[in-house]
Copies of this chain bind each other. A is one copy, B any other.
């Protein structure tokens, strides 16, 4: 049954946090007491360490090792940009347009190791060590310092800590800000830089039902793909990997999710949430709508255009839906009133406690700095965030121009992203070969230059400098056609040539990046010193207040770092109807039948042809209450034994307020069942080799 979610009134009922299975917990501080008390789950720290070391961070999502031979599982929609890049590179060698490949549309299966395709520029990370460095970072900023001095001192200390953790190119150290400024942890990652594509299904079944089904449930998506990590040209031997459950899940089973939730705003003050509601989310929605139209109409032109824009279109449409329903939640007075009541209770308690009197003004500080944020956000997003220059070539130019300036400075004084600890990752990305499609880049840049003019006004001096007297589309045409940055060798040459080479370059994109750099840095500095630094200081105090009044045992907001969530597998009630906890392949075929295989509910040809080979009773997707958010895509779902029972790929519509508030009355995480994957690999794709490897944990 297809369901039209805006017809179901999304009335949120708040569960009391103590009862609900809320939380994106740090692996260094999992909620062991709670798990023991509520679920009689009492595994030693080694259980958590093993799950952590088996987990993998993708550039925009999560994954896990599922075989001793370095096989990594993630969502198709996490791997899709890499899969698309592989199509692009393969097509460079193909002369006849009719022979062009599209691995996103048609899927991919390497039948041998030799056929596995290396993804240029893809870096996966495993979190090998966590250290609390709060005292060092906070200690670097003396009390008498001005905000800009404190900011600089902390950043210098962070650079130093990160550098210490980095050994050559094998490891990378990141200092993570937790509780919006209350704690700082050093995360040491092992870098995996030889990553190859093993298997991907057709996007049509990975993202079955397209936008109408996205963030909906029941679902029927085989949203998985497999990569393999190599070391020294051979499959990496993984010490930690997750074994496969053949039994899947039953309703009420306790399960765990290990992944990288990207961003939440649950600890935000009301003023901060109002900023999100009134400014940040509407601006994001406006931009996403614009890009979705642009990429959609571009895709209509031809199959080749569709292929080129596919990843970008998926990404903006996915974000648009999340933002739309998140904003709808923020606009719901009942949610905001609840947040107000919670905040008032905490502030009242602080006011009554003389020991906490230094903490009281923190809320007003957060409120005050929202104005700085509001005044600078638009310009920051356009110039520093790159919204005004939506092309890969500008991103390259920006990196090269900045590196030329930054690398000449001592490590401690550099912009974040240009510290010694980050350079291997930066170079790896810059030098990776990419198939750059000039016409798509012109389209994107022309549109974003138009957006820049609209947002800053045609009379803005910077805008006039950028346009050089031309219309946005003509200027984009000239910039993209004039630049040589599509050539990886030229990028490397400029990067390695340093400031001298960059200063000598006449490349129009380099000249553009140089021309706007002072303005971009200025607005960045304004926000860093007048918003970010005082904001972190205030949230540090608010966190102290929460710990003092409500006790410890809370988790920090999501920061795209590894977290553990948990909860039971469980259906829910919607519009007085019971939504079952799982679906089957049978339901997939029934859904396709319902409207005569009409897109986006059509089945790929293989699924029609091989239907008879498939056990239709196999569970396909299921839901659980584990607390996830964007970034968790590709996270393994494991049972008490640490075995893979599923693969997170989505949340339902009712989970889209989890950005601000968790409720498990209807909100659910959505996963592919572990049983569906080998069944489909064997019956539909003739990929028994991959199925055997995941089930056995080892290649044959």
A interface residue numbers (CB < 8 A to B): 2, 4, 6-7, 9-11, 210-212, 274, 277-278, 282, 285-286, 289-290, 292-293, 296-297, 300-303, 305, 317, 320, 324, 327-329, 331-334, 336, 439, 442-443, 446, 450, 453-454, 457-458, 464, 467, 469-474, 477-478, 595-596, 598-600
Contacts and interface: CB of A to CB of B under 8 A. Distances in A.
A6 B292 contact: no
A473 B10 contact: yes
A7 B477 contact: yes
A317 B474 CA distance: 23
Contacts of A286: 286, 289-290
A278 B458 contact: yes
Contacts of A274: 458
A467 B333 contact: yes
B471 A331 contact: yes
Nearest to A329: B471
A600 B467 CA distance: 33
Nearest to A209: B300
A477 B9 CA distance: 7
B471 A600 contact: no
Given A212-B297, A331-B458, A450-B331, A473 B6 contact: yes
A293 B289 contact: yes
A353 to B, nearest CB: 31
Q: Which 6 residue pairs of A and B lie closest in terms of their CB atoms, listed nearest first?
A: A332-B471, A282-B454, A9-B474, A289-B289, A212-B301, A211-B297
A334 B442 CA distance: 21
B595 A302 contact: yes
A591 to B, nearest CB: 11
A7 B599 CA distance: 30
19 contacts: A4-B305, A6-B477, A10-B474, A210-B300, A211-B300, A212-B297, A277-B458, A286-B286, A286-B290, A289-B289, A296-B296, A303-B595, A303-B596, A303-B598, A324-B450, A328-B471, A331-B453, A331-B472, A334-B469
Most B Cβ at <10 Å: residue of A6, A7, A10, A442: A6
Contacts of A470: 332-334
Contact of A473 (B9, B320, B453): B9
Nearest to A476: B6
A443 B8 CA distance: 11
Contact of A320 (B2, B293, B303, B458): B293
A638 B336 CA distance: 63
B443 A6 contact: yes
A317 B329 CA distance: 28
Contacts of A11: 474
B473 A333 contact: no
Given A278-B457, A471-B331, A301 B4 contact: yes
Contact of A292 (B293, B303, B596): B293
A471 B212 contact: no
Contacts of A212: 297, 300-301
A49 B595 CA distance: 53
A296 B295 CA distance: 13
Contacts of A443: 6
Contacts of A6: 442-443, 446, 473, 477
Nearest to A12: B471
B474 A327 contact: no
Given A6-B443, A292-B293, A300 B600 contact: yes
A470 B443 CA distance: 40
A472 B469 CA distance: 43
